[in-house]
Amino acid sequence: MATGSVLAYNKTMSQSSDTRKALNQLPVAAHHGAPLRSARYRPHRQVTKLMSIAERFVTRYSTTMGGVMPGKKTFALALTLALAVPVSAKLDTDKVYQPVSPTVEQARANILIARQLQFTHFRDLSINDSLSGDVFDAYLDYLDGQRVYLTQKDIDKFSAIRLGLGSALKTGQLQPGFDIYNLVQQRIIERLEFALDLIDNGIDKLDFSADERILLDRSDADWAADREALDDLWVKRIKNAVLAQRLNDSDDESIKEALHRRYEGQLKRAYQARSEDAFQAYMNAFAGMWDPHTSYFSPRTSENFNINMSLSLEGIGAVLQSDNEYTKVVRLVPGGPASKQGQLEPADRIVSVKQDDEEKPVNVIGWRLDEVVDLIRGPRESTVTLEVIPADAPDETVTETIAIERDKVKLEEQSASKEVIEFERGGTTYSIGVINIPTFYADFKAMQDGDPNYKSTTRDVRKLIDELKADGVDGVVMDLRNNGGGALHEANDLVGLFIEEGPTVQIRNSNNDVQVLNDEDPSVAYDGPLVVLVNRMSASASEIFAGAIQDYGRGLVVGSQTFGKGTVQAVRPLNHGQLKITQSKFYRVSGGSTQHKGVIPDIEIPSRVDKTRIGEDALDHALPWDQIEAVPHARYFDFSGIIDELRKRHDTRFEENPEFSLLQQEIEFLKQQREQEYVSLNLEKRKAYQSQIENTRLTIANARRAIHGEEAFESLDALDDWQDEQAAEPDRADDELDFIIREGGNIMADMLELDQRMASILAPKQITAQAGTLSSKSGQ
């Protein structure tokens, strides 16, 4: 083995008798991945004994990657892994990467995580050779998701350990995962140094006349064969970044400065890698095999999680997560600063963060999630500016800047609200009440303190219903679009406002025990016709409510397929951090789960949201849809006699509606951008492509202004300026009602016109609905 081809550690341990003794107490993996045991090895079943093994492994062995003695059984996962990682060799800087090593506390936590995943997770999954391979692939995706740092030669060096990770993870032997992490960090450093050298050599020397192109999403691409191929890829990456900024009217000096700031920031993070970074990445790749909502929180991440749950710090009101080297927006908190500002969207990726008292932004690509969160938090009424890659951006070089004023998320700003709209049908005017519910909330502190006037979704909606009834409305539209869920008991109680007593949702745990939540109050707050609006961002508690209303035949669900988040997580403490683990699934009273499939509306309306990117079925290892036995429940209205006519009228209206025509154009435009696999690196071709995108944006925006009788924008710059002005006024009132809300009202009016029996619930016909008896149109 060549000098420098093995990971160098601060201490070197020889093959002494103590070393051999320690190795004899560890399981040994053969080349095919089957576990071997020495004569001295005895299987250990108790956690304490497994921890003892891990402790001996870490304290006696984690500081060496010494040579292998010929003819001897060895711990192949840690000993035979010969990696070409010259971590002690200097690059073009004065810094040297220091490999990270696992700790005893991490090994103990690993054992606890493995046991909890095996014995308490909803999914029954064995830790075997097949899972080992999946963990290996997921871990590489986590560390190098776009396949821009490692080569196929690097991957080949790991082949000996691919099928042995599972057995090592069960016994707290973390070194293999740390070896992979150290190699990736070294490769990241090499690539960033290469990029900086290329930029320093002069971006004016880059050739944009050749007919080259670059693959935008490399997550499924082949690994670069070798270093030379990777060099070629990185030249293209730099050219793409430079070209994008030149077309955005940036001069070369500004481009050079921006790219330098980006790559130097990433380089700094790579050199500052910590043992905890490797452990959290490795454990999340491991835990993610069970489902995407099961994850490990380091002690620092646990602290941030608990702070977020109590909403005790000012921020922007956004839930974030790590997405390879980026920090991604998962969802916006209703009523929060980002939600009110209106520009930040789910699936946006954060590139940089700038404080209002700083001249230049801080690039956060490659940063740890907790550190990005720390940058975004700050004093109330101060401004933080985010540079993000929009969710619908064609590639990572397209960014936009969003300024958000920090504030606390106030409960009253998440509260339900109402609006009254009117429609005319055949000479009759219908008054429709619209209730918007941003989230399922409850003031738990006031509730625990015994405050009789504590706020909650159900209490607020009941008041709004009473006000609408006093106004004499003919029907109610419940708007749950973009409602990501919240308090489960509030979803149960809210269903109870619209039905007599009965079951609302079923919850099944990993032992197949089923708990049924019931509305035990026979009173009904509102017995009239009901429409529920949903979209792809309606999740969890929203899906429970919509599904129950659909199963009871209590109203029609209108919109697009919901998110499909039908699982329940618990946060369990560990000796080191916490484990968020999925333990249960939600099932509708008709028997079908809300998991994966979500709720399928009775009348569907297309959405701008890309279902291939956002939604439970877009997540790796999501738990599948299934069904259990239905529970007896009432069926109030039978829509079968009018549903076809309702859909026909809806289709006709939308064919004639210019807003819907624009929505279809936007959907098609975004789809074409998403399907663009490659982008040209030829200047003239790229100009033409960008001009086409800009013209389409401007055309759609001006068509929408024409609908509202507003003056057209003369240029894209004028459109961008106007959008910035709108974002700076988050409390502005909307003069024009959302056309989707209007369509919900139209459907309500059609329903009343077609069948006056929909004006009030009649005596319900009790049915014992069996799983699968409802049609696909009812969401099953």
Q: Hey, what are 594's tokens?
A: 């809300």
Q: In this structure, is residue 212 part of a structural domain?
A: yes
Q: In this predicted structure, what is the pLDDT of residue 1?
A: 38
H or E element at residue 519:
strand 514-519
Q: In this predicted structure, what is the pLDDT of residue 583?
A: 96
**Are 201 and 163 contacting, i.e. CB atoms less than 8 angstroms apart?**
no
Q: In this predicted structure, what is the pLDDT of residue 371?
A: 83
Looking up tokens 């609905």, which residue turns up?
769
**Sign of the four-CA dihedral 705, 706, 708, 713:** positive
3-state SS track over 10-31: CCCCCCCHHHHHHHHCCCEECC
218 and 348 in a single domain? The answer is: no
Q: In this predicted structure, what is the pLDDT of residue 139?
A: 97
189 and 69 in a single domain? The answer is: yes
Integer Cα distance of 494 and 437 in angstroms: 11
Domain termination residue (choose one: 374, 405, 436): 405
221 and 364 in a single domain? The answer is: no
Q: Hey, what are 188's tokens?
A: 């990241």
Q: Hey, what are 404's tokens?
A: 């958000």
Residues of the chain with pLDDT under 70: 1-94, 301-314, 409-413, 726-737, 762-780
516 forms beta bridges with 506
Listed in sequence order, the residues at least 6 apart from 456 whose beta carbon sits closer than 8 Å to its beta carbon are 441, 442, 443, 447, 487, 490, 493
263 and 324 in a single domain? The answer is: no
Q: In this predicted structure, what is the pLDDT of residue 241?
A: 93
375 and 447 in a single domain? The answer is: no
Strand 475-479 relative to strand 530-534, pairing: parallel
329 and 219 in a single domain? The answer is: no
pLDDT in tens, 689-733: 989 988 998 998 899 889 888 899 988 888 888 877 766 554 443
327 forms beta bridges with 322, 350
CATH assignment at residue 318 = 2.30.42.10
Listed in sequence order, the residues at least 6 apart from 263 whose beta carbon sits closer than 8 Å to its beta carbon are 192, 195, 196, 199
Q: In this predicted structure, what is the pLDDT of residue 304?
A: 57
- Characterize 466-476 residue by residue with b for buried, 16 or more Cβ atoms within 10 angstroms of its Cβ, and e for exposed: eebeeeebbbb
478 and 540 in a single domain? The answer is: yes
Integer Cα distance of 309 and 290 in angstroms: 24
One-letter amino acid at 269 equals R
**Are 512 and 460 contacting, i.e. CB atoms less than 8 angstroms apart?**
no
499 and 622 in a single domain? The answer is: yes
Q: In this structure, is residue 463 part of a structural domain?
A: yes
Q: In this predicted structure, what is the pLDDT of residue 11?
A: 31
Q: In this structure, is residue 182 part of a structural domain?
A: yes
**Are 602 and 550 contacting, i.e. CB atoms less than 8 angstroms apart?**
yes
Domain termination residue (choose one: 221, 240, 271): 271
380 and 424 in a single domain? The answer is: no
- Characterize 733-751 residue by residue with b for buried, 16 or more Cβ atoms within 10 angstroms of its Cβ, and e for exposed: eeeeebbbbbbbbbbbbbb
Q: In this structure, is residue 28 part of a structural domain?
A: yes
Q: In this predicted structure, what is the pLDDT of residue 205?
A: 94
Integer Cα distance of 71 and 64 in angstroms: 20
Q: In this structure, is residue 135 part of a structural domain?
A: yes
What crossing angle do the helices spanning 104-120 and 47-61 adopt, rounded to 10°?
A: 150
Per the structure, the complete domain to which residue 317 belongs is given by 312-405
Number of domains in the chain: 3
Helix (H, G, I), strand (E, B) or coil at 579: strand
> What is the full DSSP assignment across 477-513?
EEE-TT---B-HHHHHHHHHTTSSSEEEEEEEETT--
**Are 362 and 353 contacting, i.e. CB atoms less than 8 angstroms apart?**
yes
Q: Hey, what are 110's tokens?
A: 């690993």
Q: Hey, what are 4's tokens?
A: 């420098």
Q: In this structure, is residue 717 part of a structural domain?
A: no
What crossing angle do the helices spanning 175-200 and 129-143 adopt, rounded to 10°?
A: 30
Q: In this structure, is residue 721 part of a structural domain?
A: no
CATH assignment at residue 615 = 3.90.226.10
518 and 651 in a single domain? The answer is: yes
Integer Cα distance of 590 and 635 in angstroms: 11
Q: Hey, what are 21's tokens?
A: 């003794």
333 and 465 in a single domain? The answer is: no
Catalytic residues: 540, 551, 565
Nearest residue to 286 (alpha-carbon basis) of 136, 105, 121: 136
**End-to-end CA separation in angstroms for the chain:** 60
771 vs 198, 546, 557, 587, 626, CA distance in Å? 62, 17, 20, 10, 10
**Are 437 and 480 contacting, i.e. CB atoms less than 8 angstroms apart?**
yes
118 and 206 in a single domain? The answer is: yes
Q: In this structure, is residue 114 part of a structural domain?
A: yes
Looking up tokens 């192109």, which residue turns up?
213
Domain termination residue (choose one: 378, 405, 432): 405
Integer Cα distance of 758 and 144 in angstroms: 56
Cβ neighbourhood burial of 312 (10 Å; 0-12, 13-18, 19+): exposed
Integer Cα distance of 53 and 30 in angstroms: 19
